[in-house]
């Protein structure tokens, strides 16, 4: 077994191959963290770099994310109870009034591929649900998604709700939210966001 085959499978979006190599690695006793850190994350970082350089496109990202998720699903049961298994925990959802989820799910998959534990709340998520999920799961980061301009206003409403319940969030998040509450900006490429979350 050659674990670089897993790297190549994820990079090239080959789900079946990624699952097969991961199963082999598990049967041979390779540690899940080694598989994730040394091969899966690196493959996702490379596909992200290629995307940002314009060398691959959204379908390539989706196929790589699908292959990564298939392999990661095999490893998740082996990670139960390991406090250092993830680099952080993220709560993500599409804001209230918006039912779009393709982009949100892609971002969630990218975060998973880069070593984060992701709690995906789905679509049409209220501010109360965001806050409660962050508190219940002891999340490090909240990610809110919206496609419609008519639902963009919920970002500010949700941030206001988070600030009112700041005991459930970190001081850094509250400080950031307060200083940027009135600002709406188009996000940078996903791997730029992920790199910021890793800081």
Work out the average pLDDT over 64-75. Answer: 89
What is the predicted pLDDT for the residue at 1?
73
What is the predicted pLDDT for the residue at 184?
43
pLDDT digits (tens, 9 = 90+) for 122-154: 999 988 898 889 889 988 888 888 777 666 566
CA distance 118 to 62: 17
What is the predicted pLDDT for the residue at 41?
84
Q: How confident is the model at residue 15 (pLDDT cuts 50, 70, 90)?
A: very high
Work out the average pLDDT over 104-131. Answer: 85
3-state secondary structure the chain: CCCHHHHHHHHCCCHHHHHHHHHHHHHCCCCHHHHHHHHHHHHHHHHHHHHHCCCCCHHHHHHHHHHHHHHHHHHHHHHCCCCCCCCEEEEEEEECCCCCCHHHHHHHHHHHHCCEEEEECCCCECHHHHHHHHHHHCCCEEEEECCCHHHCHHHHHHHHHHHHCHHHCCHHHHHHHHHHCCCCCCCCCHHHHHHHHHC
What is the predicted pLDDT for the residue at 181?
46
Percent pLDDT > 90 in the chain is 26
Q: How confident is the model at residue 110 (pLDDT cuts 50, 70, 90)?
A: confident
| Gyration radius from the chain CA atoms | 17
Work out the average pLDDT over 149-160. Answer: 61
Whole-structure pTM value: 0.65
């Amino acid at each position: 077994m050659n674990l670089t085959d897993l790297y190549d499978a994820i990079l090239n979006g080959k789900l079946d191959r990624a699952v097969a190599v991961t199963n082999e690695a598990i049967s041979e006793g390779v540690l899940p963290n080694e598989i994730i850190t040394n091969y899966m994350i690196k493959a996702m970082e490379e596909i992200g770099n290629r995307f940002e350089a314009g060398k691959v496109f959204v379908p390539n990202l989706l196929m790589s994310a699908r292959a990564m998720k298939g392999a990661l699903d095999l490893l998740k049961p082996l990670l139960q109870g390991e406090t250092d298994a993830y680099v952080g925990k993220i709560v993500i959802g599409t804001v209230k009034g918006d039912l779009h989820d393709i982009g949100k799910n892609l971002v969630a998959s990218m975060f998973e591929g880069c070593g984060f534990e992701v709690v995906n709340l789905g679509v049409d998520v209220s501010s109360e649900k965001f806050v409660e999920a962050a508190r219940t799961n002891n999340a490090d980061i909240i990610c809110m998604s919206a496609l419609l301009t008519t639902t963009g206003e919920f970002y500010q409403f949700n941030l206001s709700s988070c600030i009112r319940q700041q005991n459930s969030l970190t001081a850094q998040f509250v400080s950031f939210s307060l200083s940027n509450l009135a600002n709406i900006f188009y996000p940078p490429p996903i791997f730029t966001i992920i790199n910021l979350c890793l800081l």
